């Protein structure tokens, strides 16, 4: 049996949600958004969850979310950073700290956005099956719209073949050593990469750009949305209703 750990990202301010409450704590159904991904991971093959939150929110999250709902796999609650990839590095370093302190062996790591509440056992199974044969994979779906790549002046530069364009989601999952080493390279070369204009928005990019490993795409679900703007929350309520019974609650 492979040991899989999860980094669950719940830092960030949710600026595009434009609400007074940070989006990870807003209610969906009658539970905080953060609850759903935690619950999906708690009821999965994942052994330990490293939960990354905004600095200063660690105690509140421990009491009001982890203890209240009885999540037993949360091994640490860690302060995140300014950018998503900073939060990932902090989560990975906390996992590594625990691994060495306790002499544990971690084979795989799965990185999940708390803003994606509709992580299902089926998606988690496809990720695990893919990692049996590939060191890196990312969940996503083929796009339905035709995508245009624009130039800096807002004109169409070119149109990629729609059959080859995927919108990626989370989980993004890797062999543990690969993720740790790719993110450590990123930490060292961050300024140089930013100066080159790199905009780091997901984990696969880090592995794609800084290692030779190819990333396998895995089928996610069109319901596996990220809650980003207020209208996404309305869509999420509808998805929640339609999934009742099939989500582990």
User: Could you list the residues that contact ligand CTP (CB under 6 A)?
Assistant: 9-16, 24, 52, 80-84, 87, 113-115, 226, 228
Cis? peptide before 133, omega within 30° of 0: no
Instruction: Write down the least CB distance from residue 146 to ligand CTP, Å.
Output: 24
Beta strand pairing call for 74-79 and 156-158: unpaired
Considering the complex, state which of residue 84 and residue 126 has its C-beta at the smaller distance from ligand CTP: 84
Please classify residue 173 by burial: count the beta carbons closer than 10 Å to its beta carbon, then call 0-12 exposed, 13-18 middle and 19+ buried: buried
Are the CB atoms for 19 and 230 separated by under 8 Å?
Answer: yes
Instruction: Write down the least CB distance from residue 233 to ligand CTP, Å.
Output: 12
Considering the complex, state which of residue 11 and residue 215 has its C-beta at the smaller distance from ligand CTP: 11
Considering the complex, state which of residue 4 and residue 114 has its C-beta at the smaller distance from ligand CTP: 114
Instruction: Write down the least CB distance from residue 157 to ligand CTP, Å.
Output: 25
Instruction: Write down the least CB distance from residue 19 to ligand CTP, Å.
Output: 11
Instruction: Write down the least CB distance from residue 108 to ligand CTP, Å.
Output: 20
In this chain, which residue has its C-beta nearest to ligand CTP?
12
């Amino acid at each position: 049996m492979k040991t899989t750990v999860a980094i669950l990202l719940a830092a960030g301010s949710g600026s595009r949600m434009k609400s007074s409450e940070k989006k990870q704590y807003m209610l969906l159904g009658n539970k905080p958004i953060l609850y759903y991904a935690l619950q999906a991971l708690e009821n999965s093959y994942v052994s330990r969850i490293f939960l990354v939150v905004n600095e200063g929110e660690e105690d509140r999250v421990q009491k009001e979310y982890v203890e209240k709902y009885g999540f037993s796999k949360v091994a640490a609650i860690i302060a995140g950073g300014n950018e998503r990839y900073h939060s990932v590095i902090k989560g990975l370093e906390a996992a590594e700290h625990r691994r060495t302190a306790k002499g544990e062996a971690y084979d795989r790591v799965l990185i999940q956005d708390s803003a994606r509440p509709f992580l299902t056992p089926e998606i988690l199974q496809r990720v695990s099956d893919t990692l049996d044969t590939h060191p890196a994979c990312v969940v996503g779906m083929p796009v339905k719209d035709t995508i245009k790549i624009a130039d800096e002046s807002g004109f169409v530069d070119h149109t990629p073949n729609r059959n080859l364009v995927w919108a990626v989601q989370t989980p993004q999952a890797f062999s543990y050593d690969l993720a740790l080493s790719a993110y450590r390279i990123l930490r060292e070369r961050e300024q140089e990469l930013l100066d080159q204009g790199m905009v780091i928005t997901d984990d696969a990019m880090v592995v794609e750009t800084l290692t030779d490993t190819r990333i396998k795409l895995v089928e996610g679900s069109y319901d596996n949305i990220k809650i980003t703007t207020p209208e996404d929350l309305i869509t999420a309520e509808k998805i929640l209703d339609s999934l009742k019974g099939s989500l582990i609650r």
